[in-house]
Structure 1
Amino acid sequence: MSSYRRDLVSRSTRNEFRSLATDMTVRLVAEAWQNHNFAPVPEDELNYDDSSVRRTTFETYAAAIDWTDYAQVSRALLVFEDFIRYYRQSGWDGNWLEEVTVKLERDGLSVDERGRISWLRRPVTTGHLEKLTDPSGILAELERVSRTIADDPAAAIGSAKQLIEATAKTVLRERGIAFDEHTKVPALVKQAQKALHLDASSVTPGPDGTDAVKKILGGVASIAVGVAELRNRGYGTGHGQASTPTNLGIRHAQLAANAAITWCQLMLDTLGDPAAPWKKAAVSSQPYQAPTSAAAS
């Protein structure tokens, strides 16, 4: 597995749910996984040692999951929901719900009053990251957003702005286009979108050339610039403040993070799409090469 792929649900969160298995029967633990079409790995192939049969049973299923795969993780979250509902219906006391909620929030997930787990922000598709020459800059900012969004809104807003910068610079580097490291975010966003024919001036066939899509692209560019402006007005980290901003909450951090990820997802999707207009333009602009004599024969 590529080192560039990151777990969408951290080991810390998985361990928290594994601990919940301690107070369930082995049958209930296994059925929770099997109900969502998961199969265990053989115990002799499991690199895990525990005196609890229940926790070991949990781990045989968890070890079979690719935690970097969005589809598999989404199904695994349904298992976690079943664990939460079991504990609630059984009337278990203690701070177990608070513990799992905090861990999930650090991974960008939330739990509602019914025990449903949902994404606070949509993960960037890891498959596109794997195709990049070096996605480490993007990954570093994603990690910072994930780590701070629940506890430090200002830091999350600052990291969201930096995520946009990192993505724009990565796109330009992948396209072989020179850029100034000190260029401001609005100019970077414009330059990166133009490099992928996602700007209003691009003339492209199909849906990409319609007024409707161009309006959407203009709106996406505006929200990316808005994240940078929010940070620059003192609501995000990056500049020392004489006074800390007031009334800044988690919802503002989520707004900035979701906005940044929406723009970054668009850029990475387009960069990795073999049928994207910029790809076709790049191929058509290559100079003609006459066939060699061997090929001609």
Structure 2
Amino acid sequence: MTVTARRELVSPATRNAFRSLATDLTVRIVAELWEDHGFAPIPPDELKYQDSGQRRTEFMLYAEGVDWSDPNQVRRVLLVFEDFIRAYRNPDDQGTPKWLDDIRVRLERDGFTLDKEGRISWSNPPVLVRDLSTLSDASGITIELERIRRDLTTDPHGAIGAAKQLIEATAKTALGELNIEVDRNAALPALISTVQKSLKLDAGSAPDGPDGSKAVKRILSGSVNIAVGVAELRNQGFGSGHGQASAPSGLGVRHARLTVNAAVTWCELILDTLSDPAAPWRKTMV
């Protein structure tokens, strides 16, 4: 099985810029800034970074323990970085000091914004925040998520295409986790139907209890229509993946957001059900 490496959301260049701030702070403060947001250092003998500076080394003991491709961890790291800026910044500085402007530029290259108060936010935040580490191979999902994050506000055509591919990647990943053979030539509606039936998410096989209620069945039926609708929109030429004689007109960011949000809703349903230890589908596996 070939596993594609997950893209790091914060570049080494940005991390290095914040590491340099540690030089003028105490070791205790460096540690506290990380630990205030729930991070712990790795064992010193596992540290790959080599530096004679004790404070920079302390910074890296925490930084090397971060999964830089995990949106949840990166959200917490951004809070750490904000605290580093506040701890390092001289309140008497007039204007923006060069070191802070350098950090701002590096953050922008990574897709973040830094405001005047030193708060860091995503320019285009991740659309699906889920722990995918329990999946055997989540690379297909993470690739499409990154494409959506990149294209959502700048390329609606590309974002819609990636939304369709996200549904397909999620369906194939879930079926793989269930050890169900996937037909490589299967159309997306067939994949959607297969995975929902396998997870007892189709209206016909929902068990008694909340999952079998009329309201939930109605929602589950709607979820199929949502996923198929995303695929149809893309196939009608409003998403990337098919060459067109002429570019679609009138396509805007709002159409991309509608399509992406629909795709994410379906994918969250599949991934949440797949990981739920009490989900009805597990009773049939016993």
Same fold by TM (over 0.5)? yes
How far 1:20 moved relative to its partner?
Answer: 3.5
User: Which residue number corresponds to residue 36 of structure 1?
Assistant: 37
* 2: CA distance, partners of 1:96 / 1:51: 23
Q: Secondary structure at the match of 2:110?
A: helix
How far 1:164 moved relative to its partner?
Answer: 0.9
* 1: CA distance, partners of 2:249 / 2:85: 35
The alpha-carbon distance between structure 1 residues 125 and 234, as it changes in their structure 2 partners (threshold 3 A), is same
How far 1:177 moved relative to its partner?
Answer: 4.9
The alpha-carbon distance between structure 1 residues 32 and 260, as it changes in their structure 2 partners (threshold 3 A), is same
How far 1:63 moved relative to its partner?
Answer: 1.4
Contact preservation (8 Å) 1:6, 1:68: no
The alpha-carbon distance between structure 1 residues 65 and 173, as it changes in their structure 2 partners (threshold 3 A), is closer
1:1-150 mapped onto 2 (5 Å cutoff): 9-12=8-11, 15-23=13-21, 25-27=24-26, 29-41=30-42, 45-50=46-51, 55-67=56-68, 72-83=73-84, 91-92=95-96, 94=101, 96-104=103-111, 115=119, 117=121, 119-130=125-136, 134-149=137-152
**Aligned partner of 1:100: which letter?**
L
The alpha-carbon distance between structure 1 residues 199 and 112, as it changes in their structure 2 partners (threshold 3 A), is farther
User: Which residue number corresponds to residue 227 of structure 2?
Assistant: 224
Question: What are structure 1's unaligned runs of at least 5 residues?
Answer: 284-297
The alpha-carbon distance between structure 1 residues 17 and 220, as it changes in their structure 2 partners (threshold 3 A), is farther
In the alignment of these two chains, the number of paired residues is 273
**Aligned partner of 1:213: which letter?**
V
Identity of aligned pairs, percent?
A: 49
The alpha-carbon distance between structure 1 residues 161 and 191, as it changes in their structure 2 partners (threshold 3 A), is same
The alpha-carbon distance between structure 1 residues 236 and 80, as it changes in their structure 2 partners (threshold 3 A), is farther
How far 1:148 moved relative to its partner?
Answer: 4.4
1:170-181 mapped onto 2 (5 Å cutoff): 170-175=173-178, 177=180, 180-181=183-184
Q: Secondary structure at the match of 1:126?
A: coil
**Aligned partner of 1:262: which letter?**
T
How far 1:72 moved relative to its partner?
Answer: 4.3
**Aligned partner of 1:10: which letter?**
L
* 1: CA distance, partners of 2:252 / 2:115: 18
How far 1:75 moved relative to its partner?
Answer: 2.8
* 2: CA distance, partners of 1:5 / 1:148: 20
Q: Secondary structure at the match of 1:117?
A: strand
* 1: CA distance, partners of 2:224 / 2:50: 50
Root-mean-square deviation (CA), in Å?
A: 3.8
* 1: CA distance, partners of 2:105 / 2:252: 19
Once the two structures are overlaid, the 10-residue window that deviates more, 21-30 or 58-67, is 21-30
How far 1:22 moved relative to its partner?
Answer: 2.8
Q: Deviations along 1:50-72, whole A, 9 cap, x unmatched?
A: 57666544322211334466654
**Aligned partner of 2:76: which letter?**
R
How far 1:199 moved relative to its partner?
Answer: 1.2
How far 1:237 moved relative to its partner?
Answer: 0.9
* 1: CA distance, partners of 2:253 / 2:55: 36
Q: Secondary structure at the match of 2:135?
A: helix
Contact preservation (8 Å) 1:46, 1:60: yes
* 2: CA distance, partners of 1:158 / 1:49: 44
Q: Secondary structure at the match of 1:214?
A: helix
TM-score (norm 2): 0.73
* 2: CA distance, partners of 1:57 / 1:159: 40
**Aligned partner of 1:117: which letter?**
S
How far 1:16 moved relative to its partner?
Answer: 0.7
* 1: CA distance, partners of 2:77 / 2:157: 31
* 1: CA distance, partners of 2:250 / 2:115: 23
Equivalent of residue 214 in structure 1, options 205, 214, 217? 217
The alpha-carbon distance between structure 1 residues 117 and 255, as it changes in their structure 2 partners (threshold 3 A), is farther
